[in-house]
Amino acid sequence: MNSSAPPSTLPGIPPATSPGATPLITARDLHLAFGLTEALRGVDLTIRSGEILAIMGPSGSGKSTLLHILAGVLVPDRGSVVYNGQRISTMNEAERARLRLAEFGFVFQFGQLLPDLSALDNVSIPLLLGGMSRREALARSEELLGSFGLSSCKDKRPPQLSGGQAQRVALARALVAGPRVLFADEPTGSLDSLSSEQVMEMLAATVRGFGVTLVVVTHDARTAAYADREVIVRDGQIRSGFEL
Ligand SMILES: Nc1ncnc2c1ncn2[C@@H]1O[C@H](COP(=O)(O)OP(=O)(O)OP(=O)(O)O)[C@@H](O)[C@H]1O
Ligand SMILES: [Mg+2]
Protein backbone atom coordinates (compact mmCIF):
# COMPACT_ATOMS: atom_id res chain seq x y z
CA MET A 1 0.00 0.00 0.00
CA ASN A 2 1.08 3.57 -0.35
CA SER A 3 2.84 5.37 2.39
CA SER A 4 1.17 8.61 1.37
CA ALA A 5 -2.34 9.91 0.97
CA PRO A 6 -3.47 11.34 -2.34
CA PRO A 7 -3.02 15.09 -2.67
CA SER A 8 -5.55 17.31 -1.00
CA THR A 9 -5.45 19.81 -3.82
CA LEU A 10 -4.52 19.48 -7.44
CA PRO A 11 -3.51 22.69 -9.14
CA GLY A 12 -5.93 23.99 -11.70
CA ILE A 13 -8.98 21.81 -11.25
CA PRO A 14 -11.91 22.18 -8.93
CA PRO A 15 -12.40 19.66 -6.13
CA ALA A 16 -14.38 16.48 -6.37
CA THR A 17 -17.75 16.03 -7.89
CA SER A 18 -19.20 12.55 -7.83
CA PRO A 19 -19.32 10.69 -11.15
CA GLY A 20 -22.34 12.06 -12.88
CA ALA A 21 -24.60 10.88 -15.62
CA THR A 22 -23.37 13.71 -17.85
CA PRO A 23 -21.63 12.42 -20.96
CA LEU A 24 -18.21 14.01 -21.29
CA ILE A 25 -17.03 12.12 -24.39
CA THR A 26 -19.35 10.70 -27.00
CA ALA A 27 -17.88 8.58 -29.79
CA ARG A 28 -20.07 7.42 -32.64
CA ASP A 29 -19.40 4.89 -35.38
CA LEU A 30 -15.62 5.17 -35.26
CA HIS A 31 -13.73 3.57 -38.12
CA LEU A 32 -9.99 3.67 -38.73
CA ALA A 33 -7.87 1.57 -41.07
CA PHE A 34 -4.09 1.39 -41.27
CA GLY A 35 -3.66 0.27 -44.87
CA LEU A 36 -5.59 -2.97 -45.12
CA THR A 37 -5.85 -3.41 -41.37
CA GLU A 38 -9.20 -2.22 -40.08
CA ALA A 39 -8.19 -1.30 -36.54
CA LEU A 40 -11.65 0.06 -35.61
CA ARG A 41 -14.85 -1.08 -37.29
CA GLY A 42 -17.75 0.96 -35.91
CA VAL A 43 -17.19 1.82 -32.26
CA ASP A 44 -19.83 3.64 -30.21
CA LEU A 45 -18.86 4.70 -26.71
CA THR A 46 -20.08 7.26 -24.20
CA ILE A 47 -17.87 8.23 -21.28
CA ARG A 48 -19.41 9.97 -18.30
CA SER A 49 -17.82 12.82 -16.45
CA GLY A 50 -15.85 11.56 -13.43
CA GLU A 51 -16.03 7.86 -14.19
CA ILE A 52 -13.18 5.37 -14.39
CA LEU A 53 -13.61 3.34 -17.56
CA ALA A 54 -11.46 0.29 -18.30
CA ILE A 55 -10.96 -0.74 -21.92
CA MET A 56 -9.95 -4.39 -22.18
CA GLY A 57 -9.52 -6.90 -24.99
CA PRO A 58 -6.93 -9.04 -26.74
CA SER A 59 -3.70 -7.76 -28.24
CA GLY A 60 -4.28 -6.08 -31.59
CA SER A 61 -8.02 -5.63 -31.00
CA GLY A 62 -7.87 -1.83 -31.33
CA LYS A 63 -7.68 -0.59 -27.74
CA SER A 64 -4.78 1.83 -28.18
CA THR A 65 -6.22 3.06 -31.46
CA LEU A 66 -9.52 3.78 -29.73
CA LEU A 67 -7.78 5.59 -26.85
CA HIS A 68 -5.81 7.73 -29.28
CA ILE A 69 -8.92 8.71 -31.21
CA LEU A 70 -10.84 9.56 -28.02
CA ALA A 71 -7.90 11.75 -26.96
CA GLY A 72 -7.62 13.56 -30.28
CA VAL A 73 -4.22 12.07 -31.09
CA LEU A 74 -5.52 10.13 -34.10
CA VAL A 75 -8.36 11.18 -36.38
CA PRO A 76 -10.92 8.56 -37.44
CA ASP A 77 -11.61 7.82 -41.10
CA ARG A 78 -15.30 7.90 -40.28
CA GLY A 79 -17.43 8.70 -37.25
CA SER A 80 -17.21 11.43 -34.64
CA VAL A 81 -15.86 12.20 -31.20
CA VAL A 82 -17.49 14.99 -29.23
CA TYR A 83 -15.72 16.12 -26.07
CA ASN A 84 -17.61 18.47 -23.79
CA GLY A 85 -19.63 19.86 -26.70
CA GLN A 86 -16.62 20.20 -29.03
CA ARG A 87 -16.26 17.95 -32.04
CA ILE A 88 -12.66 16.78 -31.74
CA SER A 89 -12.76 14.61 -34.82
CA THR A 90 -13.00 17.57 -37.18
CA MET A 91 -10.51 19.85 -35.43
CA ASN A 92 -7.20 20.49 -37.12
CA GLU A 93 -3.92 19.33 -35.60
CA ALA A 94 -3.17 22.64 -33.88
CA GLU A 95 -6.64 22.81 -32.29
CA ARG A 96 -6.36 19.22 -31.08
CA ALA A 97 -2.89 19.88 -29.67
CA ARG A 98 -4.23 22.89 -27.76
CA LEU A 99 -7.14 20.88 -26.41
CA ARG A 100 -4.89 18.02 -25.33
CA LEU A 101 -2.53 20.35 -23.52
CA ALA A 102 -5.33 22.18 -21.75
CA GLU A 103 -7.67 19.32 -20.86
CA PHE A 104 -6.01 15.91 -21.09
CA GLY A 105 -3.25 14.00 -19.33
CA PHE A 106 -1.52 10.87 -20.64
CA VAL A 107 0.21 7.89 -19.03
CA PHE A 108 1.75 5.03 -21.00
CA GLN A 109 3.15 1.60 -20.26
CA PHE A 110 6.70 2.86 -20.06
CA GLY A 111 6.47 6.23 -18.34
CA GLN A 112 8.16 8.01 -21.24
CA LEU A 113 9.91 10.32 -18.83
CA LEU A 114 12.80 12.29 -20.27
CA PRO A 115 15.85 10.38 -19.05
CA ASP A 116 18.20 13.33 -18.70
CA LEU A 117 15.87 15.43 -16.57
CA SER A 118 15.22 15.04 -12.86
CA ALA A 119 11.87 13.70 -11.68
CA LEU A 120 10.97 17.23 -10.61
CA ASP A 121 11.82 18.73 -14.01
CA ASN A 122 9.88 15.96 -15.76
CA VAL A 123 6.76 16.71 -13.72
CA SER A 124 7.00 20.44 -14.38
CA ILE A 125 7.01 20.09 -18.20
CA PRO A 126 3.23 20.44 -18.78
CA LEU A 127 3.14 23.57 -16.62
CA LEU A 128 6.06 25.13 -18.48
CA LEU A 129 4.42 24.27 -21.80
CA GLY A 130 1.29 25.98 -20.49
CA GLY A 131 3.28 29.17 -19.92
CA MET A 132 3.79 29.06 -16.14
CA SER A 133 6.97 30.58 -14.71
CA ARG A 134 9.68 28.04 -13.92
CA ARG A 135 9.69 28.99 -10.26
CA GLU A 136 5.97 28.39 -9.82
CA ALA A 137 6.01 25.26 -11.98
CA LEU A 138 8.76 23.73 -9.85
CA ALA A 139 6.98 24.66 -6.62
CA ARG A 140 3.73 23.03 -7.75
CA SER A 141 5.50 19.98 -9.07
CA GLU A 142 7.40 19.54 -5.84
CA GLU A 143 4.18 19.73 -3.85
CA LEU A 144 2.53 17.09 -6.01
CA LEU A 145 5.56 14.78 -5.87
CA GLY A 146 5.46 15.16 -2.10
CA SER A 147 1.81 14.19 -1.91
CA PHE A 148 2.60 11.13 -4.05
CA GLY A 149 5.26 10.07 -1.51
CA LEU A 150 8.07 10.87 -3.92
CA SER A 151 9.88 13.79 -2.26
CA SER A 152 13.05 11.76 -1.86
CA CYS A 153 13.03 11.03 -5.60
CA LYS A 154 12.66 14.55 -6.88
CA ASP A 155 16.29 15.09 -7.85
CA LYS A 156 16.78 11.62 -9.32
CA ARG A 157 16.72 10.97 -13.01
CA PRO A 158 14.37 8.27 -14.38
CA PRO A 159 17.09 5.60 -14.76
CA GLN A 160 17.72 5.92 -11.01
CA LEU A 161 14.08 5.21 -10.10
CA SER A 162 12.31 1.89 -9.63
CA GLY A 163 9.62 1.02 -12.18
CA GLY A 164 6.86 1.84 -9.71
CA GLN A 165 8.45 5.14 -8.71
CA ALA A 166 8.92 6.10 -12.37
CA GLN A 167 5.25 5.35 -13.08
CA ARG A 168 4.18 7.47 -10.12
CA VAL A 169 6.36 10.32 -11.41
CA ALA A 170 4.73 9.87 -14.83
CA LEU A 171 1.36 10.01 -13.10
CA ALA A 172 2.30 13.23 -11.33
CA ARG A 173 3.39 14.69 -14.68
CA ALA A 174 0.09 13.66 -16.25
CA LEU A 175 -1.92 15.28 -13.44
CA VAL A 176 0.09 18.38 -12.54
CA ALA A 177 -1.68 20.71 -14.95
CA GLY A 178 -5.11 19.66 -13.68
CA PRO A 179 -6.46 17.72 -16.65
CA ARG A 180 -10.14 16.94 -16.89
CA VAL A 181 -9.50 13.55 -18.49
CA LEU A 182 -6.59 11.18 -17.96
CA PHE A 183 -5.90 8.65 -20.71
CA ALA A 184 -3.77 5.71 -19.59
CA ASP A 185 -2.54 2.96 -21.92
CA GLU A 186 -1.38 -0.08 -19.93
CA PRO A 187 -0.11 2.11 -17.07
CA THR A 188 0.82 -0.97 -15.01
CA GLY A 189 1.87 -3.14 -17.95
CA SER A 190 5.56 -3.11 -17.10
CA LEU A 191 5.21 -3.43 -13.32
CA ASP A 192 5.17 -6.35 -10.89
CA SER A 193 1.94 -6.96 -9.03
CA LEU A 194 2.85 -5.01 -5.89
CA SER A 195 3.99 -1.94 -7.83
CA SER A 196 0.92 -2.21 -10.06
CA GLU A 197 -1.30 -2.15 -7.05
CA GLN A 198 0.48 0.87 -5.60
CA VAL A 199 0.26 2.78 -8.87
CA MET A 200 -3.43 1.91 -9.35
CA GLU A 201 -4.28 2.81 -5.74
CA MET A 202 -2.68 6.19 -6.23
CA LEU A 203 -4.20 6.70 -9.64
CA ALA A 204 -7.73 5.74 -8.60
CA ALA A 205 -7.63 7.71 -5.35
CA THR A 206 -6.34 10.82 -7.09
CA VAL A 207 -8.79 10.81 -9.98
CA ARG A 208 -11.73 10.02 -7.70
CA GLY A 209 -10.67 12.70 -5.27
CA PHE A 210 -10.69 15.34 -7.95
CA GLY A 211 -13.42 14.15 -10.26
CA VAL A 212 -10.94 13.52 -13.09
CA THR A 213 -12.33 11.16 -15.71
CA LEU A 214 -10.00 8.19 -16.28
CA VAL A 215 -9.94 6.05 -19.41
CA VAL A 216 -7.55 3.16 -18.84
CA VAL A 217 -6.56 0.47 -21.33
CA THR A 218 -5.41 -2.68 -19.57
CA HIS A 219 -4.95 -6.42 -19.98
CA ASP A 220 -4.93 -6.86 -16.26
CA ALA A 221 -8.17 -7.74 -14.45
CA ARG A 222 -6.72 -6.40 -11.18
CA THR A 223 -6.15 -3.03 -12.80
CA ALA A 224 -9.63 -3.07 -14.34
CA ALA A 225 -11.08 -3.83 -10.91
CA TYR A 226 -10.45 -0.18 -9.98
CA ALA A 227 -12.84 0.93 -12.71
CA ASP A 228 -16.55 1.76 -12.47
CA ARG A 229 -17.21 0.19 -15.83
CA GLU A 230 -15.48 -2.03 -18.32
CA VAL A 231 -15.81 -2.38 -22.08
CA ILE A 232 -14.24 -5.15 -24.14
CA VAL A 233 -12.89 -4.48 -27.61
CA ARG A 234 -12.56 -7.38 -30.05
CA ASP A 235 -11.66 -7.10 -33.72
CA GLY A 236 -12.14 -3.35 -33.72
CA GLN A 237 -15.59 -3.39 -32.16
CA ILE A 238 -16.97 -3.13 -28.66
CA ARG A 239 -18.30 -6.56 -27.86
CA SER A 240 -19.48 -6.08 -24.32
CA GLY A 241 -19.61 -3.59 -21.53
CA PHE A 242 -20.67 -3.79 -17.92
CA GLU A 243 -20.66 -1.96 -14.63
CA LEU A 244 -18.16 -3.36 -12.13
N1 LIG B 1 0.47 2.94 -36.85
C2 LIG B 1 0.00 1.77 -37.29
N3 LIG B 1 0.29 1.33 -38.53
C4 LIG B 1 -0.19 0.16 -38.99
N5 LIG B 1 -0.99 -0.67 -38.28
C6 LIG B 1 -1.31 -0.28 -37.04
C7 LIG B 1 -0.83 0.94 -36.47
N8 LIG B 1 -1.32 1.06 -35.22
C9 LIG B 1 -2.05 -0.05 -35.01
N10 LIG B 1 -2.06 -0.85 -36.09
C11 LIG B 1 -2.79 -2.12 -36.23
O12 LIG B 1 -4.13 -1.89 -35.82
C13 LIG B 1 -4.61 -2.97 -35.04
C14 LIG B 1 -5.02 -2.46 -33.67
O15 LIG B 1 -3.86 -2.01 -33.01
P16 LIG B 1 -3.88 -1.43 -31.52
O17 LIG B 1 -2.51 -0.92 -31.24
O18 LIG B 1 -5.00 -0.48 -31.38
O19 LIG B 1 -4.19 -2.76 -30.66
P20 LIG B 1 -4.23 -2.97 -29.09
O21 LIG B 1 -5.55 -3.56 -28.76
O22 LIG B 1 -3.83 -1.72 -28.40
O23 LIG B 1 -3.10 -4.10 -28.90
P24 LIG B 1 -2.08 -4.32 -27.66
O25 LIG B 1 -2.89 -4.90 -26.56
O26 LIG B 1 -1.09 -5.31 -28.22
O27 LIG B 1 -1.45 -3.01 -27.32
C28 LIG B 1 -3.49 -4.00 -35.01
O29 LIG B 1 -3.74 -4.95 -36.03
C30 LIG B 1 -2.26 -3.19 -35.31
O31 LIG B 1 -1.28 -3.98 -35.93
MG1 LIG C 1 -2.19 -1.18 -27.24
| CATH classification at residue 89 | 3.40.50.300
Structural domain harbouring 58: 23-243
Per-residue confidence (pLDDT) for residue 75, from 0 to 100: 96
Q: Please report whether residue 14 resides in a domain.
A: no
pLDDT for 19? 56
Average pLDDT over residues 69-76: 96
Q: Which residue, by CA, sits nearest to atom 31 of ligand 1?
A: 60
Query: What pLDDT does residue 11 have?
Result: 53
In a domain, 226, yes or no: yes
- Higher per-residue pLDDT: 111 or 46: 46
10 belongs to a structural domain: no
Domain assignment present for residue 224? The answer is yes
Nearest ligand 1 atom, CA 67: 18
Long-range Cβ contacts of 202-207 (<8 Å, 24+ apart): 202/2, 202/6, 202/148, 202/168, 202/171, 203/107, 203/171, 204/52, 205/5, 205/6, 206/6, 206/7, 206/10, 206/171, 206/175, 207/52, 207/182
Ligand 1 centroid–CA 237 distance in Å is 13
pLDDT at position 108 is: 85
| CA of 187 relative to ligand 2 center, distance in Å | 11
Average pLDDT, whole number, for the chain? 90
Instruction: Summarize the confidence of residues 204-223 as an average pLDDT.
Output: 92
> With contact defined as beta carbons under 8 Å apart, do 132 and 210 qualify?
no
- Distance between CA atoms of 141 and 200, rounded to whole angstroms? 20
Nearest CA to ligand 1 atom 29: 60
pLDDT digits (tens, 9 = 90+) for 39-48: 999 999 999 9
How confident is the model at residue 15, as a pLDDT? 46
Indicate whether 1 pLDDT > 70: no
- Residue 14: pLDDT band with limits 50, 70, 90: very low
Pocket perturbation via mutation, ligand 1, pick of 30, 37, 232 by most ligand atoms within 8 A of CB: 37
Q: Which residues line ligand 1 (CB under 6 A)?
A: 34, 37, 39, 57, 59-65
Residue 17 lies in a domain: no
Number of domains in the chain: 1
Q: How many CB atoms lie within 10 A of CB 108?
A: 18
119 within a domain of the structure (yes/no): yes
**4 occurs within a structural domain:** no
Query: How much of the chain, in percent, has pLDDT values that exceed 70?
Result: 89
State which ligand 1 atom lies nearest to the alpha carbon of 61. Answer: 21
Has residue 157 been placed in a domain?
yes
